[in-house]
Amino acid sequence: MSKQLVTYRGDLQGVRAIAVIAVLLFHVWPSVFRGGFVGVDVFFVISGFLITSLLVAEIDLKGKVDLMQFWARRMMRLLPAATVVLLAALAGALVFLPRTEFVNSAKHVLASALYFENWALVAQSVDYWATGQSPSPVQHYWSLSIEEQFYFVWPPVIALTAFLSGLGWFGFRKAATWLLAAILLISLALSILPGLDAGSTYFKTTTRAWELALGALIAVCWSKLAFAQWVRSLLGWLGLTLVVLSILFINEQMRFPGWVALVPTLGAALLLVAGDTPWSPYRLLAAKPVAYVGDISYALYLWHWPIVIFARPLGEDAGKAANPFLIIGLTFALALVTKYLVEDPFRYGRFSFHLRSSTRARGILKAFGAALAMITVTAGLAAALEVRQLRINDELLQQNFASAIKDPNYPGAAALDARWPAKVPPDMPLRPNPQIAETDMRYRYRDCMNMGKVCEFGNPQGKTTVVLAGDSHAMHYAPALETIAKKHNWKLLVMVKVACPLGDFGLYSEGKYRGDCDLWRGKMTKWMQDARPDFIVTSGGLQGVYGGLPPLEKQIEGYRRLWQSLKGEKGRLIVIRDNPLIKLNPGKWLEVPPCLSWHPKNPERCNKPRELTLDSMKDAMLLAAKEQPRTGTIDLTQWLCTKDTCPAVIGNVVVYRDAHHLTETYMNTLTPYIEAELLRVMASLH
């Protein structure tokens, strides 16, 4: 029975080939192979089966598991290629990506080297299917991280189970079966439970463990699965059908993992059970060309995603990827080179070791530990140096704000003013540099967005108190309002919370209820009622920015209800219409600063038609402000858009630091126009 478990199975190489090709095709043709991501689920089942098969065979032979040898073998198999790709991805990020993206990539290289990339993605609230987030070139290491965590935890557990069974406490296979069944059911339940954040659930070890446990369960119960050949053949074809149908028809609109993930994983499980029978799919899957792709499947998986990421700038236009055939060809070429020059030498060639003793295994573990430490230090140092340089550039940029505003070569918003006397000179370096535009907001303003924090600007003894409250879109105006407050001797108080607009309604973000917004709203309401400001200024992101907002009518009701409570008897409210959303699909990767980095000579390629931005959205805040007592509105759209277009660059100044947040540099050029509008509305509300 043990021999059956560890004998080479060509059909599993074929299943690996299907899985990796599915993932690759999904990433180059996502609209065609919408369910290709299930290839990872198939990998999990196979990995759980193969690893547990090896462990069970060793227990049958020796009565125990040599953990050091097991871990050393895993490292010899997996780490050489993974290390090469991590270093290549780090170098590629430095060459191909904007500097702000490099910092993020270096952090993920570090997480991947330590095999907790999946938890790093969870911590960042990354959604696998999101188009509004910046993908790391090593994001695909999330699945390898889950497998490595399984390799680290499961062998000691099964070794302990074997040891205790040797003491006569219980039968080994019976205990292992019950343990795996419990893991499978609990983990599957966690992936199905309603109310969980679907985005983070995708990456969590706890909601993926059941797929590995399914494969492991088949390995432990192998002797009980001696079905008739015709039954196994039928199960094999059914399993292959389920896997193929999953690739073609499962899509991102379905909650995944969960019940839906049972389709590809059960398909893989049935293929494992089928094995080699006369009428099963074995011959098809074990065919040499198919099995060969399975042989290089690990290297294919490692290389495909960095190439997809780095090839995007080679596209003909923003949002258009490079030639998919180029990506596929380059992926196969690098996978072949990696197999013959990296993987095989460590497995079979001059760098391979015969693990006859735990002492030698410990030595190998130490060597690979040193290699991981090298990657960790390299990535961490690179990220730290880059962050330091970005901060230096940011400080220099802030010091030059005053001179930048007066520079006729950089009029910013004034370039849209018919009264501006000079023509804006073309071909000038943009301000801020797109490479650092993402950080173009002073840290003291960013710090104001902490929960419950109140920032004070202007004249502390000013007779007029103005409060800026709302979400990060309200925070845009803090630099301008500070300048205006100083000029007019106002006391300016700022209380904002990211993604929490100034309305009394529930808010969801990426499938999760924003209870933190309720908490912030309660603190802010009490504080505002005590502060009793003369004017409250607010703005907020639209439905296209958040998602998760209630219907328009509920928003309007919620805004009016909270505003009435905040204004009290004498307060006045000023609503600033939201700014345009310049989202260049497929997401943050081609938001404004990266887009400008790819097209430094043609910034107009990063513009957005006006009809696709604000004009196509209903601003609930503006609608709520209509015909309300002591409430006025300001519309700055004429300083953000022309008649037909909402540009990414105006007057040689970069307008956005992502897809919908304004740079502080542009806000400074907008300040005179905000001041004029603010004074006009204030006068009308007296």
Instruction: State the amino acid at position 571 in one-letter form.
Output: G
Shared domain check, 467 and 376 = no
DSSP run (H or E) holding 470: strand 464-470
Shared domain check, 442 and 377 = no
Q: What is the mean pLDDT of residues 120-133?
A: 64
Shared domain check, 317 and 445 = no
pLDDT digits (tens, 9 = 90+) for 98-123: 666 777 788 888 889 889 899 988 87
> Residue 519: its pLDDT value, please?
83
Between 590 and 417, the more confident residue is 417
| Residue with token string 């309002």 | 481
Q: Per the domain annotation, does 400 fall within a domain?
A: no
The residue from 319, 354, 386 where one domain ends is 386
The CA distance from 56 to 54, in Å, is 6
Q: Per the domain annotation, does 228 fall within a domain?
A: yes
Q: Are strands 653-654 and 649-650 parallel, antiparallel or unpaired?
A: antiparallel
* HEC readout, 8-40: CCHHHHHHHHHHHHHHHHHHHCCCCCCCHHHHH
Report in angstroms the alpha-carbon separations of 528 from 1, 167, 498, 629.
Answer: 73, 69, 18, 18
> Residue 201: its pLDDT value, please?
77
Shared domain check, 552 and 635 = yes
Q: Per the domain annotation, does 443 fall within a domain?
A: yes
Shared domain check, 453 and 382 = no
Q: Per the domain annotation, does 672 fall within a domain?
A: yes
Shared domain check, 485 and 362 = no
Which two structure tokens, joined as six digits, stand for 100?
């702000």
Report in angstroms the alpha-carbon separations of 343 from 16, 80, 303, 346, 629.
Answer: 17, 7, 14, 5, 73
Shared domain check, 378 and 252 = yes
The pTM of this model reads 0.69
Residue 576's beta-bridge partner residues? 634
CATH of the domain at 441: 3.40.50.1110
pLDDT digits (tens, 9 = 90+) for 328-359: 999 999 999 999 998 888 777 555 555 554 55
Shared domain check, 366 and 492 = no
Q: Per the domain annotation, does 411 fall within a domain?
A: no
Shared domain check, 446 and 317 = no
Q: How many domains does the chain have?
A: 2
> Residue 514: its pLDDT value, please?
66
The residue from 348, 363, 386 where one domain ends is 386
What's the domain range around 604?
435-685
> Residue 64: its pLDDT value, please?
82
Q: What is the mean pLDDT of residues 75-90?
A: 89
pLDDT digits (tens, 9 = 90+) for 380-395: 555 555 555 555 455 5
Which two structure tokens, joined as six digits, stand for 184?
């499978």
Q: Per the domain annotation, does 185 fall within a domain?
A: yes
Which of 331, 265, 240, 287 has its CA nearest to residue 27?
A: 331
Q: Per the domain annotation, does 419 fall within a domain?
A: no
Residue 456's beta-bridge partner residues? 493
Shared domain check, 451 and 341 = no
Which two structure tokens, joined as six digits, stand for 622?
């503006």
Q: How confident is the model at residue 577 (pLDDT cuts 50, 70, 90)?
A: very high
Least confident of 53-57, 365-369, 659-663: 365-369
Instruction: State the amino acid at position 365 in one-letter form.
Output: L
| Residue 319 pLDDT exceeds 50 | no
Alpha helices in 38-171 (DSSP H): 39-62, 67-96, 99-113, 117-123, 141-166
pLDDT digits (tens, 9 = 90+) for 275-315: 888 888 888 888 999 999 999 999 999 999 999 988 875 54
Shared domain check, 254 and 197 = yes
Instruction: State the amino acid at position 547 in one-letter form.
Output: G
* Contact status, residue 88 vs residue 113, Cβ threshold 8 Å: no
**340: which DSSP letter?**
I
Between 141 and 448, the more confident residue is 141
CB burial of 511-527 (b: ≥16 within 10 Å; e: otherwise) equals bbebebbeebbeebeee
Least confident of 328-337, 484-493, 510-519, 662-671: 510-519
DSSP run (H or E) holding 512: strand 512-513
- How much of the chain, in percent, has pLDDT values that exceed 70? 80
Q: Per the domain annotation, does 420 fall within a domain?
A: no
| Residue with token string 């005053």 | 402
Residue 223: Cβ within 10 Å count? 12
The residue from 321, 354, 386 where one domain ends is 386
> Residue 200: its pLDDT value, please?
66
> Residue 389: its pLDDT value, please?
54
Report in angstroms the alpha-carbon separations of 173 from 1, 221, 404, 444.
Answer: 13, 7, 74, 61
Shared domain check, 271 and 378 = yes
Torsion, Cα of 109, 110, 115, 117 (10° steps): -60
pLDDT digits (tens, 9 = 90+) for 163-188: 888 776 777 888 889 999 999 999 99
Between 348 and 503, the more confident residue is 503
Cis, peptide link before residue 603, omega less than 30° from 0 = no
pLDDT digits (tens, 9 = 90+) for 620-631: 899 999 889 999
The CA distance from 686 to 570, in Å, is 10
